[in-house]
Each structure stands twice: as C-alpha cells, then as structure tokens.
Amino acid sequence: MLKKLFIQNYAIIDEIEIEFSQKLNIITGETGAGKSILMGALSLILGDRVDTSVLQSRDKKCFVEGIFAIGEKKGVKAFLREQDLDVEEELVIRREIGSNGKSRAFVNDTPVNLEQLRRLSSMLVDLHRQFDTLELGESDFQRQVLDALAGHADVLQQYQAAYQQWQQAQQALTTLLQQKDQFTKEYDYNKFLFDELQEAGLKENELEDADAALRLLSNAEGIKTALSKVGYELSEGEAPLVQQLKTLSNQLSAFTDHHTALPALVQRLVSAQIELQDIADEVERINDQVQYDPQKIEQLNDRISIGYKLLKKHGVHTTHELLAIKDDLEQKLQAVLNIDEAIQSREKAVQQLLQKATDLAAKLTANRVKQVKPLQDKVNKLLAQVGMPNARLQVAVSPLANLQVTGIDDIEFLFDANKSNRYEPIRKVASGGELSRLMLCIKSLVAQSLDLPTLIFDEIDTGISGEAARQVGVIMKDLARQRQVFSITHQPQIAGKADAHYYVHKESKGSAIKTNIRLLSQDERITAIAKMLSGEKPTAAALENAREMVMN
C-alpha cells in the first residue's frame, strides 16, 4: 500500500507531504483545485513520461517520492530480486526531474529505467483514470477474474506444470527429428567411410609394425652379412675370440696360487668368454631368422600403402587414430538405426503429456464456463446499482487453436451499454467512466481471491449521483476492507464512506497560487460534505445529512 507521498516543485504544488490510510482514502476539492495535478505527480513514480511544463521553478528539480509497504506481495519481492534491487519491508520509489527536463528514477536509492519502474509500479498501484486504456480490456485480467471465481488455483498449477513438461518433451522430439534429418544426410557418406576402413581390416599398431618389418626385410641381406661376419669372428675364424679368451684364462689359472689378484682376473676372463659365447649363439639365431622375402615385402608395401592413404585422408598419424574414427563412424551409423526407436518413444511421451495437459485444460474450461453466468448476473446487478441500469456484461469463452500456458480458452468480456443486444469488446465500446465503474464492480467480486494492488479511482462518479453514487461508495468501502483504495470524487455519498478524507485546495503564497492538500478532521469532513450537498454556505439540513453520512 501507499503509505506516504512527497511532492516538490510540480506544477503549482510547492511542497506536499501526506500520509494515507490503509483502507478507503477519499480526495475531494473544488474543480480546478489541483486534484488532477496530484494524480499527475503520482503517475510520475508509476512510470509515466515527463512533461517539462510541470516544472514550477526552473532553478530547482521536481521531486516526487512514494513510500510503499509491500507486505506479503510475493510478485513484488520476486521482481526486486530478479532486478538485483534491495528487498525491504518498505519500498521507496523516487522520481527526479532536472531543470533541463531529464528525469531519473530510483527504487530504494538504486537507479532504474522507466520500463523497470512501470513493471514494478503496476504491481503496486492500479490507477483508473478517465479515458485510460484499462487492464479490464486485457485478456489476461479477464481470465484471472474467471480463475479467481472458479477457485481452481491447484488445477491451474497442475495444468501449467503438465504444459511445461509437454513443451519440453515437444522440444526434445523436435531436436531428435532434426538430428535424424542430419543423420540421414550424412549416412551415405559415413557408410562409405566406415566400409572403407572396415574393408582395410586394420589391427591395432598394424601400420607401425608393418613399417618396422618392411625396414627389416629391405635390409635383410646387409643384416645377414654383418651377422655372419660377427658370428665367424666370434666362433669360427682361425683365431675365434671365444677360444682366445678361453686360452688366456687357462694361462693365468696356472698362477692363481701365486698372486692374490689373479683369481679375480681369471674369473672376469671366464665371464667375458661366457658372454661372448652367448652373443655368438644369439647372432647365429638371429641370422637364421633373417630371411630376404620379396613376396612378404610386396605384401607389406601394399598394406602400408592402403594404410597411409587412409591416414592422409582422415588427417591422422597412427593406426590407433584410424580405428578410433572407425568406431565413431560405427556409432553414428548405429545412431541412425536407433533414432527411429528413440523418436517413437519420444512421440509416445509427447502424446501422453499432451493428453494430460488437454484433460487438465478441459477441467479449467469447465470451471471457467461454470462461472460465466454467475459473474454476468452479479456484475449486471452491481452495474444497475452504480447507475448503469441499461449496461450489460457478457463473457465469451471460446476454444483456442492450440494449448497455451493458461489453458485453451480465449476469454473476452463483451459490453452493451444501452440494451442494444450488440455486444462488443469492452475496450472498443465502454467510456472512461463506464470502464471505471465496471472495473469497480468486477474487482469487488474477486477482491478476496486476487492479490490486487492499491486501487485508485479518478472521478469514477462521472454522470451519477444519489443512490447510484451511494452504492459506488458502499462497494468501495467493502473493497477497502481487503486492500487500500483511493477515490477522487465530487459525490458526497462517496466521500461519506471514507476512512480518511483529504481536501485539495488552492491557497495564496505571496503573489503565487499554490495547491495544497490536508487530512480533514471529522467536523471538517462534515462541513466539506455539506458543502458538496448544498453549496459554499451549507444549510442546517445539509450539515445534518452530512453528519449522518459520516457517522453511518
């Protein structure tokens, strides 16, 4: 609710600071006293654009500040968190307009842009002015009215959860179908690449092993010649090295008892002899294994040629990388085969979720349709009470082509102001005053079910008086039991229902005329209402009538 409003240097307002009641606040005053100026200043902190002509004094800035108690308004707190704004029990909204016409807006001392200000203020204040395009003509509000009367918040929540799941499943299905299209386009090429690798039949490290074997075979004759020469010198020559070492060790062995160092030398010679003999045996074995094989060389060259072409084609360097590409291609080919099964499974899930959402949407529709006639009857009855006996509201609920996040219903409030039986959308045919009173009637019916913001009705009483005006006051009074309500009025019957009555007036300050506002005491209220009844000099009867209005 709006707790306090401070205005400085706006139009003919010098400086005003006023605190408001949390229930029904009535603002009255003579025509031209500045009530509309007050609303204009308030509209600045609600996000309206600036008109520099409102700057009273060009040498100082215009300043409008509203202090709001946000209470348990979850939507407001969520918005503040979303926008990284401080969440406190009191919300201070300030708008400053410099002498150059540039404006700045602040929420809890944090700068915000006009779009943020409008979104936030729409959750705090609902301002109904003559000739405004009101939310009453908006489909979201019209649906919210039926939902509030139906009291099916749990069903709506279930539906929206099912709708969200269906949307997500539908998106997943679309992604799968797109993948299938892509897979199908790539399938033939991937199949060709896979078949080529499959036909090559490469084994792990085959190309590296083949390259090593080819080098061996290509140098087989030189290797055998070298091995034969080494083997000959070690074991078969005129003076084989192995035999020479044996002879040398035998010669030293004869003197081992005569010199302490000789046994060790002899042992080393024996070890060298054994090692050389082992080397000679290994040389012979390797020599027997190395064979020049032209046919094998040709086979290896063919395999390496195939392998190197594949390495170059795929831009890799090892057999392992080629085999990894083959495995990846195989998975892609298998995915093409599996994706149809995945699509069928997803389609089944989508259909089940769609059916669930459709069933819940049907419940929403049934509940909404049940509320149509009671809503029409109650609103039409209230319209007669507030001075619109010929006006009729008709609620049309028709199916949409597809499910939406709120259901499958297109809801339209239609209006006939003159019993013409020609119902048109409210936004096209209702005047400003009719819209305000119609909104008052509807909101009074859903006040307990909807989390309505502070309601401000600017001259809702245009064109009514007497009993109709009294009924408007009664409805406002009842509405104000649930939330804060403001009404700018010329009707004493409405003013008499106030919890707090504020009087807007002009006063002279030096050579200038200024607008001011003050909270009236009970006696001042009686006098003000009496003047509204009978003129500037109220009669005793008018004063008595005013007293009765205030006391009752």
Residue 346 clears pLDDT 50, i.e. is over it: yes
CA dihedral (204, 206, 209, 212) in degrees, to 10, reads -150
Residue 434 clears pLDDT 80, i.e. is over it: no
Same domain, yes or no, for 204 and 96?
no
pLDDT tens for 3-15 read: 999 998 888 888 8
In this prediction, residues 47-71 reach a mean pLDDT of 81
In this prediction, residues 153-172 reach a mean pLDDT of 95
In this prediction, residues 398-418 reach a mean pLDDT of 91
Q: Tell me if 24 sits within 8 A of 485, measured CB to CB.
A: yes
How far is the C-alpha of 439 from the C-alpha of 129, rounded, in Å?
Answer: 11
Residue 133 clears pLDDT 50, i.e. is over it: no
Same domain, yes or no, for 125 and 190?
no
Which two structure tokens, joined as six digits, stand for 185?
């386009």
In this prediction, residues 277-291 reach a mean pLDDT of 79
Q: Is residue 375 part of a domain?
A: no
Residue 94 clears pLDDT 50, i.e. is over it: yes
Q: 458-492 as b/e, with b when 16 or more CB fall inside 10 Å? A: bbbbbebeeebbbbbbbbbbebbebbbbbbbbbbb
**Residue-level pLDDT at 137:** 54
**Residue-level pLDDT at 163:** 96
Q: What is the largest CA-CA distance in the chain?
A: 160
pLDDT band (50, 70, 90) for residue 431? low
How far is the C-alpha of 87 from the C-alpha of 212, rounded, in Å?
Answer: 75
Q: Tell me if 26 sits within 8 A of 489, measured CB to CB.
A: yes
How far is the C-alpha of 440 from the C-alpha of 486, rounded, in Å?
Answer: 12
Residue 52 clears pLDDT 90, i.e. is over it: no
Mean pLDDT (the chain) is: 85
**Comparing 54-58, 303-307, 510-514, which segment has the lowest mean pLDDT?**
54-58
**Residue-level pLDDT at 75:** 85
Domain of 4, CATH number, reads: 3.40.50.300
pLDDT, greater one: 470 or 448: 470
* Spatial strand order in the sheet of 13-19: 13-19, 2-10, 62-69, 90-97, 103-107, 110-112
**Comparing 100-114, 117-131, 244-258, which segment has the lowest mean pLDDT?**
117-131
How far is the C-alpha of 299 from the C-alpha of 209, rounded, in Å?
Answer: 13
In this prediction, residues 54-67 reach a mean pLDDT of 81
In this prediction, residues 251-274 reach a mean pLDDT of 84
Which two structure tokens, joined as six digits, stand for 194?
């896979």
> By percentage, how much of the chain surpasses pLDDT 90?
26
Same domain, yes or no, for 126 and 186?
no
Q: Is residue 223 part of a domain?
A: yes
Q: Is residue 358 part of a domain?
A: no
Q: Tell me if 89 sits within 8 A of 70, measured CB to CB.
A: yes
Residue 510 clears pLDDT 80, i.e. is over it: no
Burial class (CB within 10 angstroms; exposed 0-12, middle 13-18, buried 19+) of 396: middle
Same domain, yes or no, for 1 and 94?
yes
Residue 131 clears pLDDT 60, i.e. is over it: no
Domain boundary among 321, 337, 353: 337
Same domain, yes or no, for 239 and 119?
no
In this prediction, residues 139-159 reach a mean pLDDT of 90
Give the containing element (helix H, strand E) for 503.
strand 500-509
Q: Is residue 380 part of a domain?
A: no
Give the containing element (helix H, strand E) for 543.
helix 540-551
Q: Is residue 160 part of a domain?
A: no
* E strands present in 371-499: 392-404, 407-416, 424-425, 454-458, 485-488
Residue 156 clears pLDDT 50, i.e. is over it: yes
Q: Is residue 532 part of a domain?
A: no
Same domain, yes or no, for 103 and 195?
no
Same domain, yes or no, for 195 and 88?
no
In this prediction, residues 101-119 reach a mean pLDDT of 89
Handedness of CA 263, 266, 267, 268 (dihedral sign): positive
In this prediction, residues 43-71 reach a mean pLDDT of 82
Which residues span the domain enclosing 233?
Answer: 178-337
**Residue-level pLDDT at 306:** 85
Q: Is residue 40 part of a domain?
A: yes
Region of 101 on the Ramachandran plot (φ > 0 left; ψ -120 to 50 alpha; else beta): left
Same domain, yes or no, for 47 and 195?
no
Same domain, yes or no, for 105 and 21?
yes
Helices (DSSP H) in 457-539: which residue ranges?
466-479, 492-495, 522-534
Same domain, yes or no, for 65 and 203?
no
Same domain, yes or no, for 10 and 68?
yes
pLDDT band (50, 70, 90) for residue 490? confident
**Residue-level pLDDT at 311:** 87
**Residue-level pLDDT at 53:** 72
Domains in the chain, number: 2
In this prediction, residues 305-311 reach a mean pLDDT of 86
Q: Is residue 195 part of a domain?
A: yes
Highest mean pLDDT among 267-281, 295-309, 397-411: 397-411
Domain boundary among 337, 354, 377: 337
Q: In sequence order, what are the residues at sequence separation of 6 or more whose Cβ sits closer than 8 angstroms to the Cβ of residue 284?
A: 231, 235
In this prediction, residues 137-146 reach a mean pLDDT of 81
Domain boundary among 295, 321, 337: 337
**Residue-level pLDDT at 136:** 58
**Comparing 20-34, 427-441, 470-484, which segment has the lowest mean pLDDT?**
427-441
Same domain, yes or no, for 215 and 315?
yes
**Residue-level pLDDT at 432:** 66
> By percentage, how much of the chain surpasses pLDDT 70?
95
